[in-house]
């Protein structure tokens, strides 16, 4: 555990030093939020979102780029210098998830260059980007199943449940769901990054209990980098994760849950993320099949803004809820024993 904490501090220190010049760099290349009409996945305007977020125009996005670069390099360095015995396919799963979803998110963030003017090349619609997420997730899930032998989840009271080949679509669903859940939650300053940090603390405890040193090192380095980023991301944020960060970190969190075998616990540890994406999914389905909205607006944090809650209050109470969900998730995780 002491080794993990030392790596967390190292990652925090390096990311913290690099963040200020990196923010200046994002300003220079104009990778920042531009004033424009935001649209949902059905290409409909989202005036409520714009009403509460247009004051953030000009804030740099793409903070996830620095997190991905720093954590990926430090992970490979730590595995080498500490002579960590990690399976090649496990390393592939961790870094392919982290970097692959990051590149997909960077594609979306690149649309915001040049004051948000879209280039024809960037006309990829949501359905195709969603399909690419599934392709990436199915590749990761297939490696987990075929090369690493994962075909199970732990369920409280039942122990290990073997899914067989059905583990592949199940794992892919978990990855896509959490990638989008974190992406949706990255709408308020400090919301997604703070919740991610709480979730990662829980999984560091789980991996320590399992004596899973390779995964623990990755989690520890990720914690330090996100903590440094959070310093600049809290209200009023000087930098945002961007899609490159939210998709990458959401998918990485899902894979961490899958690699520990604690997928059920993951749903509780990431409970606020689950509520956020559930509120959006219910809204989407109700509009499509019922022709009306169930909620005035979605996701949940946007509804709280609409009824008058201040942004910092929403974020801090979400962190509190995230902590309580994490305690419940850890209780469920440890019911199943150390493995």
Segments in the chain forming alpha helices (H): 2-28, 47-53, 63-81, 88-110, 126-146, 167-185, 191-210, 213-233, 242-260, 263-269, 271-285, 300-306, 311-335
Q: What is the pTM of this model?
A: 0.91
Distance CA 99, CA 65 (A): 9
Q: Residue 10, Cβ neighbours under 10 Å: how many?
A: 17
Name 39's bridge partners. 45
Residue 215: which residues within 8 A CB-CB, separation 6 or more?
90, 94, 207, 256, 259, 260
| C-alpha of 300 from chain center | 17
- pLDDT tens column, 256-285: 999 999 999 999 999 999 999 999 899 888
- pLDDT tens column, 236-247: 999 999 999 999
Q: Which of 3, 10, 2, 34 is nearest to 221 (CA)?
A: 10
Tokens standing for residue 10: 């190292």
Tokens standing for residue 136: 């990436």
Name 131's bridge partners. none
Q: Is the dihedral of CA 322, 108, 92, 228 positive or negative?
A: negative
Average pLDDT over every residue of 30-53:
60
In this predicted structure, the answer to whether residue 45 has a pLDDT above a threshold of 80 is no
User: Which pLDDT belongs to residue 189?
Assistant: 94
Written as one string, the DSSP assignment of 72-95 is: HHHHHHHHHHTT----HHHHHHHH
Of residues 14 and 303, the one with the higher pLDDT is 14
Least confident of 10-14, 161-165, 333-337: 333-337
CB 178 within 8 A of CB 213: no
Of residues 165 and 292, the one with the higher pLDDT is 165
Written as one string, the DSSP assignment of 31-61 is: -B--S---B-TTS-B-HHHHHHHGGGTT-B-
CB 279 within 8 A of CB 299: yes
Cis geometry, peptide bond prior to residue 235 (ω within 30 degrees of 0):
no
User: Which pLDDT belongs to residue 125?
Assistant: 66
- pLDDT tens column, 143-199: 999 999 999 887 766 667 788 999 999 999 999 999 999 999 998 999 999 999 999
User: Which pLDDT belongs to residue 129?
Assistant: 86
In this predicted structure, the answer to whether residue 20 has a pLDDT above a threshold of 60 is yes
- pLDDT tens column, 54-99: 667 778 989 999 999 999 999 999 999 988 889 999 999 999 999 9
In this predicted structure, the answer to whether residue 40 has a pLDDT above a threshold of 80 is no
Range of the domain at 240: 2-335
235: left (phi over 0), alpha (psi -120 to 50) or beta: beta
In this predicted structure, the answer to whether residue 32 has a pLDDT above a threshold of 90 is no
If one counts the domains in the chain, the total is 1
Q: Residue 144, Cβ neighbours under 10 Å: how many?
A: 23
- pLDDT tens column, 95-154: 999 999 999 999 888 776 544 454 444 445 678 889 999 999 999 999 999 999 999 887
Cis geometry, peptide bond prior to residue 299 (ω within 30 degrees of 0):
yes
Average pLDDT over every residue of 248-260:
97
Distance CA 285, CA 288 (A): 5
Average pLDDT over every residue of 299-303:
89
Average pLDDT over every residue of 308-316:
94
Distance CA 207, CA 215 (A): 7
| Strand 152-155 with 159-162, pairing | antiparallel
Q: Which of 123, 145, 142 is nearest to 134 (CA)?
A: 142
CB 97 within 8 A of CB 255: yes
């Amino acid at each position: 555990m002491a080794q993990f904490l030392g790596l967390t501090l190292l990652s925090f220190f390096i990311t913290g030093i690099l963040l200020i010049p990196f923010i200046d760099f994002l300003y220079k290349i104009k990778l920042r939020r531009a004033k424009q009409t935001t649209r949902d996945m059905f290409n409909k305007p989202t005036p409520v979102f714009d009403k509460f977020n247009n004051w953030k125009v000009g804030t740099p996005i793409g903070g996830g780029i620095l997190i991905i670069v720093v954590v990926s390099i430090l992970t490979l360095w730590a595995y080498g210098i500490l002579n960590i015995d990690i399976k090649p396919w496990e390393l592939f799963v961790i870094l392919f998830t982290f970097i692959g979803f990051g590149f997909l998110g960077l594609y979306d963030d690149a649309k915001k260059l040049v004051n948000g003017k879209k280039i024809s090349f960037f006309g990829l619609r949501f359905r195709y980007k969603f399909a690419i997420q599934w392709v990436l997730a199915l590749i990761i899930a297939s490696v987990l199943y075929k090369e690493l032998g994962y075909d199970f989840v732990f369920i409280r009271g039942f122990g290990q449940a073997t899914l067989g080949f059905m583990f592949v679509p199940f794992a892919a669903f978990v990855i896509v769901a959490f990638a989008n859940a974190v992406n949706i939650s990255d709408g308020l300053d400090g919301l997604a990054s703070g919740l991610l940090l709480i979730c990662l603390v829980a999984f560091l405890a789980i991996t320590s209990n399992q004596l899973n040193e390779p995964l623990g090192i990755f989690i520890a380095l990720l914690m330090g980098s996100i903590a440094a980023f959070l310093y600049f991301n809290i209200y009023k944020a000087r930098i945002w994760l961007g899609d490159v960060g939210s998709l990458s970190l959401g998918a990485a969190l899902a894979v961490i849950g899958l690699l520990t075998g604690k997928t059920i616990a993951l749903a509780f540890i990431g409970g606020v993320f689950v509520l956020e994406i559930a509120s959006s999914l219910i809204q989407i389905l109700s509009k499509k099949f019922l022709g009306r909205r169930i909620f005035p607006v979605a996701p949940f944090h946007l509804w709280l803004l609409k009824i008058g809650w201040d942004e910092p209050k929403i974020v801090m109470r979400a962190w509190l809820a995230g902590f309580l969900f994490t305690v419940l998730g850890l209780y469920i995780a440890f019911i199943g024993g150390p493995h």
